[in-house]
């Protein structure tokens, strides 16, 4: 057996040493034959491209060659040569083939033919072996790396907020309960109610819907932080845009006002999209060809344009004008309404033809912690609206006045006693501060062009689905 160190296919293709022996290890994607010769396409997951292996039947055992089928795993050593065929620049003339594992063509689900997304979701444990999901998950990796790099370079600290929390005050959405009680027969008080003091944490707990409040604790100590972790919503939403478990990025920055916050958000998302264009070109080109023909053009457009900034009130006026001119929306438009995705996309795609940042939303449709404007009606919220996606980032300057915040808690039913740890940030050395949240999978929908959020996370959790 020839002993050679394995080279990843991505590295061979970046700097091919034609005329040298190489060893690759990976999985067979296809095999086609032609009088005494087989062409075996091997992929090792390191990039979208396969490396073609030319196998002279005379040099190998017939039984071995039979087992080289789609999905089989192999180690191949041979001479790297310039390719005679189309579609690849280099190929390997096989000298040695080691078969690690077969993939029975009768049962292996990923045969050559294309598969529907729905079918691939059912075999989510195998779909990373396809071109599309290989590309999506490599881009997912790159976006995560770019997020850390962006914040690290700017002196933000990555901060881990808790997943299990007893705080249920934010009201951001329905929650999952976390328990070690025996649900069939929980301990009970004398009056018959469940005795949560026997639960693991001695109280009711649930999975977090946002790390923001804890993020504010950190920002008012370390100055600038960001979270990047899983977040949960127990909403029974069976849509292509909702997951029960998803990842969120939430920067929070002391001494930032709403303008600083908008500047950061715009710089951030342009940085991420530019990173994808610079570092994921092959995968993006594949997705551009196979999934969304306008993908790369849309990404390039976003990084080149200045985002349009206007108030919610101005935005509603534009939408009302559109309605007056005959544009039909499914949902009504009026000052005070929560904008629907169709409204957001109208502003972005039809009216301004550039991403939009809307600010100064009505207080009634926004969270209690947002900074109140002088007008007594609006808050210093900001939503970044994107083509195809609608809202991709939501954020605000936070209310730093203890008195105003407590009043707003009272008005909206937030229990100030349970939230005293949060209010302490305003009691002790309060500062102006701001932050926002980016749904990681929303970003990935935009960057990959995929149409369903279940296809940009490895193992989607949705109503009635927690497989794998």
In this chain, which stretch among 5-13, 280-288, 334-342, 406-414 interacts with a second copy, using CB under 8 A? 5-13
Q: Which is nearer to a second copy, 98 or 340 (CB)?
A: 98
Q: Which is nearer to a second copy, 238 or 304 (CB)?
A: 238
Q: How far apart are CA 151 and CA 143, in angstroms?
A: 12
Q: How far apart are CA 100 and CA 26, in angstroms?
A: 9
Q: Which is nearer to a second copy, 101 or 114 (CB)?
A: 101
Check residue 2 for interaction with a second copy (CB under 8 A).
no
Residues from 148 through 187 that contact a second copy (CB under 8 A): 148, 152, 155, 157-167, 174, 176-181, 183-184, 186
Q: Which is nearer to a second copy, 143 or 302 (CB)?
A: 143
Residues from 448 through 467 that contact a second copy (CB under 8 A): 457-459, 461, 463-467
Check residue 286 for interaction with a second copy (CB under 8 A).
no
Pairing of strands 90-101, 205-207: unpaired
CB of 328 to a second copy, least distance (A): 36
Fill in the per-residue mask, 383 to 422: x = in contact with a second copy (CB under 8 A), - = not in contact: -----------------x--------------------xx
In this chain, which stretch among 141-149, 337-345, 368-376, 391-399 interacts with a second copy, using CB under 8 A? 141-149
Check residue 16 for interaction with a second copy (CB under 8 A).
no
Burial class, 116, CB count within 10 angstroms (exposed 0-12 / middle 13-18 / buried 19+):
exposed
Q: Which is nearer to a second copy, 84 or 464 (CB)?
A: 464
Distance of CA 161 to the CA centre of its chain: 18
The tokens describing 69, both together, are: 């089928």
Q: Which is nearer to a second copy, 318 or 409 (CB)?
A: 409
Mapping DSSP to helix (H, G, I), strand (E, B) and coil, where does residue 258 land?
helix
In this chain, which stretch among 6-14, 269-277, 287-295, 353-361 interacts with a second copy, using CB under 8 A? 6-14
Q: How far apart are CA 464 and CA 198, in angstroms?
A: 29
**Residues with Cβ within 8 Å of residue 395, at least 6 apart in sequence:** 261, 265, 381, 382, 383, 434, 435, 436, 437
The tokens describing 148, both together, are: 């850390």
Residues from 226 through 255 that contact a second copy (CB under 8 A): 229-230, 232, 234, 236, 244-245, 247, 254-255
- The DSSP annotation for 144-156 comes to HHHHHHHHHHTT-
Q: Which is nearer to a second copy, 46 or 313 (CB)?
A: 46
Burial class, 438, CB count within 10 angstroms (exposed 0-12 / middle 13-18 / buried 19+):
buried
Q: How far apart are CA 440 and CA 36, in angstroms?
A: 50
In this chain, which stretch among 40-48, 269-277, 304-312, 326-334 interacts with a second copy, using CB under 8 A? 40-48
Instruction: From 173, 148, 152, 235, select the one nearest 461 (Cα to Cα).
Output: 235
Q: Which is nearer to a second copy, 400 or 455 (CB)?
A: 400
CB of 134 to a second copy, least distance (A): 7
Q: How far apart are CA 256 and CA 154, in angstroms?
A: 14
Q: Which is nearer to a second copy, 38 or 311 (CB)?
A: 38
Check residue 39 for interaction with a second copy (CB under 8 A).
no
Residues from 61 through 80 that contact a second copy (CB under 8 A): 71-73, 75
Q: How far apart are CA 331 and CA 318, in angstroms?
A: 15
Residues from 187 through 226 that contact a second copy (CB under 8 A): 193-194, 200-203, 205, 207, 214, 217-218, 220-224
CB of 344 to a second copy, least distance (A): 27
* Residue 395 CA neighbour count, 13 Å, CB half: 31
Q: How far apart are CA 287 and CA 134, in angstroms?
A: 11
In this chain, which stretch among 102-110, 270-278, 293-301, 388-396 interacts with a second copy, using CB under 8 A? 102-110
Member of 57, 112, 141, 281 binding a second copy (CB under 8 A): 141
Mapping DSSP to helix (H, G, I), strand (E, B) and coil, where does residue 158 land?
strand
**Residues with Cβ within 8 Å of residue 406, at least 6 apart in sequence:** 416, 423
Q: Which is nearer to a second copy, 346 or 368 (CB)?
A: 368
């Amino acid at each position: 057996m020839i002993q050679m160190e394995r080279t990843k296919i991505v590295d061979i293709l970046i700097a091919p040493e034609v005329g040298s022996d190489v060893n690759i290890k990976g999985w067979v994607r296809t095999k086609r034959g032609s009088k005494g010769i087989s062409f075996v396409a091997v992929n090792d997951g390191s990039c979208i491209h396969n490396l073609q292996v030319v196998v002279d039947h005379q040099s190998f055992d017939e039984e071995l060659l039979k087992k080289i089928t789609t999905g089989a795993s192999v180690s191949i050593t041979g001479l790297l040569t310039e390719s005679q065929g189309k579609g690849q620049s280099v190929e390997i003339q096989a000298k040695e083939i080691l078969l690690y594992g077969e993939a029975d063509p009768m049962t292996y689900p990923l045969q050559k033919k294309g598969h529907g997304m729905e079918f691939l979701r059912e075999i989510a444990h195998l779909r990373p072996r396809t071109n599309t999901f290989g590309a999506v998950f490599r881009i997912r990796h790159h976006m995560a790396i770019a997020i850390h790099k962006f914040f690290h370079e700017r002196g933000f600290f990555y901060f881990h907020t808790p997943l299990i929390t007893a705080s249920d005050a934010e009201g951001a959405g329905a929650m999952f309960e976390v328990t070690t009680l025996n649900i069939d027969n929980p301990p009970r008080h004398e009056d018959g109610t469940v005795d949560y003091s026997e639960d693991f944490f001695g109280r009711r707990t649930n999975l977090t819907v946002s790390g923001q409040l804890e993020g504010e604790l950190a920002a008012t100590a370390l100055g600038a932080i960001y979270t990047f972790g899983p977040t949960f919503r127990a909403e029974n939403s069976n849509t292509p845009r909702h997951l029960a478990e998803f990842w969120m990025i939430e920067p929070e920055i002391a001494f930032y006002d709403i303008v600083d916050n908008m500047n950061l958000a715009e710089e951030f998302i342009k940085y991420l999209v530019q990173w994808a264009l610079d570092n994921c070109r092959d995968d993006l080109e594949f997705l551009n060809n196979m999934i969304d023909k306008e993908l790369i053009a849309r990404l390039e457009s976003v990084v080149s344009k200045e985002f349009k900034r206007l108030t919610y009130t101005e935005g509603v006026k534009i939408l009302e004008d559109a309605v007056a001119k005959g544009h039909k929306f499914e949902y009504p438009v009026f000052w005070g309404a929560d904008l629907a995705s169709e409204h957001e996309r109208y502003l972005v795609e039809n009216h301004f033809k550039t991403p939009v940042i809307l600010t100064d939303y009505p207080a009634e449709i926004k969270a209690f912690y947002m900074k109140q404007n002088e007008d007594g009606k609006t808050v210093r919220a900001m939503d970044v609206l994107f083509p195809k996606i609608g809202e991709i980032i939501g954020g605000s300057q936070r209310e730093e006045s203890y008195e105003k915040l407590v009043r707003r808690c009272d008005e909206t039913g937030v229990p100030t006693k349970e939230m005293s740890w949060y209010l302490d940030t305003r009691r002790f050395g309060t500062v102006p501060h701001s932050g926002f949240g980016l749904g990681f999978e929303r970003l990935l929908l935009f960057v990959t062009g995929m149409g369903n959020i279940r296809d940009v996370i490895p193992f989607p959790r949705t109503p009635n689905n927690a497989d794998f």
